[in-house]
């Protein structure tokens, strides 16, 4: 009964709304370092881009772009995804409701193909896309090929990003989530753009996948270093 109530649309909407308000509080009460400092000027001529992030490190990513840049995020159709979707909309981010999987039946069930098509259309219209590189539920921080395939077919570069705060709660979950807390310091780090050729073969796709992993691990490590902490 409690589980059913917890998945009720009104409950999920309420939690998502509260989450958005909380994340605004976290953003406004942390003093953020941005590295590199000229990232927005550098990225402007490269738009649209595919923003890559790790699961569990994604809560403050909506604040990592100027409000004037059109943006959509790919979010799963699960109950947790519904809460995140409500929060994202409250923060001014467009939605693509889909996620990937490790097997064909998982991709179909989670709307992966439709999500891929929707992401392609958004990129073609000039709207950047944000998506988690690792596939639920695990292994954590191992990039899937979905984000690389999207870059290959769209011609848009992948941008690894990470955000961390000096005060956070580590959650014992498959994605090693860090839930950000207010009243501290924060760091937003951006990696180098990763480009995937339209004629990339399997070997080139695998190389690009490894680049995404390295880029995300590097930006994550650097974000925590800027805060004087170990890798989160």
Q: Pairing mode, if any, of strands 50-53 and 184-190? A: unpaired
Q: Give dist(CA 65, CA 45) in Å, integer.
A: 14
Q: Is the peptide bond before 204 cis (omega within 30 degrees of 0)?
A: no
Question: Smallest Cα–Cα separation from 223: which of 214, 232, 215?
Answer: 232
**Rounded Cα gap, residues 173 and 163, in angstroms:** 18
Specify whether the CB–CB gap between 166 and 178 falls below 8 A.
no
- Spell out the domain ranges in the chain: 2-226
Q: Using alpha carbons only, what angle is made at residue 48 by residues 80 and 220, rounded to the nearest 5 degrees?
A: 55
Q: What is the pLDDT of residue 11?
A: 85
Beta strands 184-190 and 158-165 are antiparallel
Average pLDDT over residues 200-213: 97
Distance CA 94, CA 34 (A): 24
Band of pLDDT at residue 40, cut at 50, 70 and 90: very high
Q: How large a percentage of the chain has pLDDT more than 70?
A: 89
Entry field: residues in the chain: 232
pLDDT value for 111: 54
Reported pTM: 0.90
- Strand 168-170 vs strand 178-180: parallel, antiparallel, or unpaired? antiparallel
Q: Give tens-digit pLDDT for 157-183.
A: 999 999 999 999 988 877 778 899 999
Q: Look at the domain 2-226 and name its fold.
A: Glycerol-3-phosphate (1)-acyltransferase (3.40.1130)
pLDDT in tens, 88-118: 999 999 999 876 544 444 444 455 788 899 9
Instruction: Give tens-digit pLDDT for 54-93.
Output: 988 899 999 999 989 999 999 887 767 888 899 999 999 9
- Strands of the sheet containing 94-97, edge to edge, are 30-35, 184-190, 158-165, 50-53, 128-132, 71-75, 94-97
- Per-residue 3-state assignment (H helix, E strand, C coil) for the chain: CHHHHHCCHHHHHHHHHHHHHHHHHHHHHEEEEEECCCHHHHHHHHCCCEEEECCCCCCCHHHHCCCCCCEEEEECCCHHHHHHHHHHHHCCCEEEECCCCCCHHHHHHCCHHHHHHHHHHHHHCCCEEEEECECCCCCCCCECCHHHHHHHHHCCCEEEEEEEECCEEECCCCCCCEEECCCEEEEEEECCCECCCCCCCHHHHHHHHHHHHHHHHHHHHHHHHHCCCCCC
pLDDT at 137: 72
190-218 mean pLDDT: 97
């Amino acid at each position: 009964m409690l589980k059913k109530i917890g998945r009720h649309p009104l409950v999920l909407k309420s939690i998502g709304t509260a989450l958005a308000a909380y994340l605004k509080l976290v953003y406004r009460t942390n003093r953020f370092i941005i590295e590199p400092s000229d990232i927005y000027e550098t990225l402007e001529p490269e738009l649209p881009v595919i923003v890559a992030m790790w699961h569990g490190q994604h809560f403050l990513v909506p604040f990592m772009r100027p409000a004037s840049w059109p943006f959509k995020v790919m979010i799963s159709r699960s109950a947790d995804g519904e809460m995140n979707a409500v929060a994202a909309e409250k923060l001014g981010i467009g939605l693509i409701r889909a996620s990937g999987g490790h097997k064909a039946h998982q991709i179909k069930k989670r709307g992966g193909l439709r999500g891929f098509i929707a992401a392609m259309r958004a990129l073609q219209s000039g709207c950047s896309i944000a998506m988690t590189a690792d596939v639920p539920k695990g292994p954590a921080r191992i990039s899937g090929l979905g984000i690389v395939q999207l870059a290959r077919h769209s011609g848009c570069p992948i941008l690894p990003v990470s955000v961390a705060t000096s005060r956070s709660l580590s959650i014992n979950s498959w994605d090693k989530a860090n839930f950000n807390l207010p009243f501290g310091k924060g760091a937003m780090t951006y990696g180098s753009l990763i480009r995937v050729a339209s004629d990339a073969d399997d070997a080139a796709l695998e190389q690009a996948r490894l680049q995404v992993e390295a880029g995300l691990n590097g930006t994550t490590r650097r974000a925590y270093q800027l805060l004087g902490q170990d890798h989160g």
